[in-house]
Amino acid sequence: MWLNYHHLYYFWIVIREGGVTAAGKRLRLAPSTISAQLSTFEEALEVKLFQRVGRNIEPTEMGQLVFQYAEKIFSLGSEMLDSVKGLQTVGPLSLKVGIVDVVPKLVAMKLLEPARRLPEQVRLICHEGKDEQLLAELAMHNLDVVLTDTPFRSNLSVKVYNHLLGECGMTFFGVEKYAVEMRDRFPASLDDVPMLVPMRMSTLRGMLDQWLEKIGVQPKIVGEFDDNALLKVFGQAGEGVFAAPSVIENEVANQYQVKIIGRTDQITEKFYAISVERIIRHPAVAAISEAAKEKLFFRS
């Protein structure tokens, strides 16, 4: 099958302009002409590229995929023209990252730091969301990598790969009054103490509940949160003790003015980079993976 680039271009402009009418004004063509070209393009590809939503049309899942390829094709065409004209095409390296919302923001920042310190300039684009949403974007090549705390078992048509970045234990924090009273008898001192915890559906909450049951300790759960940052703000206000990955314990203590009560390696949180590449080739993602394994989570 031969790809008709005129049809692809019309399709690309329709998406970028937000509709057939706007695209017609941009291209100086009648909307009916563009609609006919789009229908011919769909017939040639044997897929449905648009779906009607109310009075508007929106790209289908396949339409979004074709649009991503069109973006790359016409971007490369523009670069080619610049090169032919002898213009220097220099720009920052783009790194599009999806961060699953349960990953602590301080952990995400530390993981991404090596990418920002590459010799070449990196333009960082971060999206936070639920794992299924972000992995769908990854499969559509809208993201270069997804950072998460659980490996992904794919049910998408596009294969994705889990790259373990590292793991660490958990550190418990509280304002000074809790730290002074609890430090010497930790973890038994957690019994009957106000505690702030993640929501029950989170991986960390499950591990925390199992560990507390194992050591025979029952704290008073006074708050459950699906936002790690909000949980820490409540901890800073003295509402209860809380746990965070040991790899960021210094940052948590400094940022939220809390004290370290104790640590345990019986609860371990793992962090993964998920990509569509079995072998990571993106230089910024490779820098993240290498630094995490050799420095951030390294244990001598």
Q: Which two tokens stand for residue 279?
A: 């072998």
Instruction: Please check whether the domain covering 169-268 is classified as CATH 3.40.190.10.
Output: yes
- Give the count of beta carbons closer than 10 Å to the beta carbon of residue 35: 17
Task: Note the pLDDT of residue 88.
Answer: 47
Q: Specify the pTM.
A: 0.66
Instruction: Confirm whether 5-84 and 169-268 share one CATH topology.
Output: no
- Give the count of beta carbons closer than 10 Å to the beta carbon of residue 105: 16
Q: How far apart are CA 280 and CA 255, in angstroms?
A: 33
Q: How far apart are CA 3 and CA 11, in angstroms?
A: 13
Give the model confidence (pLDDT) of 255-292 as tens digits: 999 999 999 999 999 999 999 878 888 889 999 999 99
pLDDT at residue 157 is higher than 80: no
- Give the count of beta carbons closer than 10 Å to the beta carbon of residue 160: 17
Backbone angles phi, psi at 253, to 5 degrees: -60, -40
Task: Note the pLDDT of residue 138.
Answer: 84
Half-sphere exposure of 2 (CA within 13 A, CB side): 2
Q: How far apart are CA 231 and CA 79, in angstroms?
A: 47
pLDDT at residue 75 is higher than 50: yes
Higher pLDDT, 72 or 243: 243
Q: How far apart are CA 296 and CA 300, in angstroms?
A: 12
Domain extent listing, the chain: 5-84, 93-166+271-296, 169-268
Q: Output DSSP code: residue 85.
A: T
3-state DSSP assignment of residue 299: coil
| b (16+ CB within 10 A) / e for 4-16 | eeebbbbbbbbbe
Is the omega angle on the peptide bond into residue 187 within 30 degrees of 0, that is, cis? yes
Strands 220-225 and 161-174, by their bridges, are unpaired
Q: Which two tokens stand for residue 128?
A: 């936070």
Tell me the average pLDDT across 216-233. Answer: 94
Q: Which two tokens stand for residue 89?
A: 């095409």
**What CATH number is given for 93-166+271-296 in this structure?**
3.40.190.10
3-state DSSP assignment of residue 263: strand
| CATH architecture of the region 5-84 | Orthogonal Bundle (1.10)
